[in-house]
Structure 1
Amino acid sequence: MITVDRLTKSYRGVTAVDDITFAARPGRVTGFLGPNGAGKSTTMRIMVGLTPAGSGTVEVLGGRYADLPNPGLEVGVLLDASAQHAGRTGREILTVAALTMGLPTSRVPEMLRTVSLTDTEADRRVRNYSLGMRQRLGIATALIGDPAVLILDEPANGLDPAGIRWMRDLLRSYADQGGTVLLSSHLLHEIEVIADDIVVIGNGRIVAQGTKEELLAGAGTLVSSDDDVRLGAALAEAGVTVGTAGSSLLTEASAGVVGRIALEAGIALTELRAADGAGLEEMFLELTAESQRESAHTDRTEGAAA
């Protein structure tokens, strides 16, 4: 369990995290979603004691992370895969982690198998790893203590599609066994596929949170036809709000309503389905649009001042 209560952090007069409150619960994957600079990484650094909070509190497993007697046995953390010691091998990094936590070194080959790093790769120096291999090593380090909580910042960076699928299955299994997963990502589809709960942050403030089903309820319908201009006009005439999502039209109406309107207008449809991935993308863009405009304004103001 992770509990964030009225957390605020400022740097030189700029508020990076602005009075946020949310929780990540056991047995569930919580997606922490927001544009670059939204405050996700700062929040996670405060969680694990790397950055002091300005005000508010963060509790992990009922207390402060800094007060845990052996943190690695209770909380697995991956904040920056590139921060690993470049001169050590992957096997050495895992061995040091195991010994630091008081674990038998037999955990090292177990973790290497878990994250699909071969013996040859494990004996290679980390400076020669790809970003994807560093991510796998970072996840292995986070998991080696068999913790109850995982805090992962952008763990899919550098992974190929097969690696992303592997990571998704690994984290889903971990949560299904009772673990708490807090997962930060800008990959909207991956968050939608894996997350049970979603927290959306923009410009340091939480703009939405709830279960995935709650946030995507009423996300609408994607529809296409051989004449989308005429279809859009027919929907608008019927009072249905119409937008676009890629090459399709996106409406707030149900598929049944959209299909009936198209039938009455004599328009043959080539696509008619729930918004799915487009739903999260549209929600994300809508909820963070204001904060991104504010961020752009701040950047221009600071640039002019400089």
Structure 2
Amino acid sequence: MLPAPAPSASRGDIVLQPNYFTSSVYVRALRDDISTLILRYHEAYAQTSMKPFTLFKTVWLQMGWNWLHFKVFDHRSRQTFLEVTARMFLERTVRTEAPFTRAVALFSLYIFFYTQIKDPIPALRSISNIPIPYDHYLSLTTMPECLATPHLAPLQPHARHLLSRLFKDRVFFILPKSDLGAMNPRELPRELYVEDGFGFSDVAAQKRKGRPPRREKGKMARMALEELEEWVSRPGPSNAGGENLAEYQAAKASMMEALSKDPTFSCEDLTQTVLERLEAAGRSSGKSELGLELVREALADGEGIFHLLR
């Protein structure tokens, strides 16, 4: 009897690491592919009277999604690959998505989960559960109700049947609510690919939450000033530096004229109010602001705060 085939331990095979499947390289590409799948199925759904789920399986095969399970065979990497891919399908079934999108994402999740390669030789990793936040699970149970419109009604019985099969097989592993961040990893993508020539701080997606540090504030201020100078001096048929300024001055003059006709309006009172608030803010922060001095000068000159607007 011949032994079962097994990978050679002496050969250094190159395998995809698990963090590849949680990185932006895989996650963003898969999200785009799922959007394309939804679009293709929507086009086919509008042009044929074939049974919805049968039609979806046809589109699935035509686009080559049936080969997705052969992407990776290493146990550690395959575990992450299956979990992340199922999560990407599941995220399109949330309540904020369009009803048609939710139904197609459910079809995709069902086929992907139940077409896993089972009991191969050598053994191949598969998943038996899909983690899902509790609030997402509740919205999933009521998803068929949003398919009651005439255009989507053919999808409703299929969605009901697929959900009942998933619930009966206890596929979903229910986690705490999504706002508690119980998913692992908490957000996808977890690792962001940065092309050569760009620093970590230059990637917009990498901005940290909260107040930016002083160095970043200075950098942002310099960039804003350079962009403003470039905009003012920009040549061209629109004459951005001159024509836009003239429009602004005309709008300002119109506003001042309208305010001057209002007997309840006082530019001096408004300036005094702004000055008091700036002084209160300066006392609470313990810093001297240039804007405070400018408002004081405007109040002393009798021209008011609108004089500061060019």
Instruction: Give the number of the structure whose alpha-carbon radius of gyration is greater.
Output: 2
- Larger relative contact order (C-alpha < 8 A, sep ≥ 6)? 1
- Structure with bigger helix share is 2
What range describes the TM-score normalised by the shorter chain of this pair?
A: under 0.3
- Structure with bigger strand share is 1
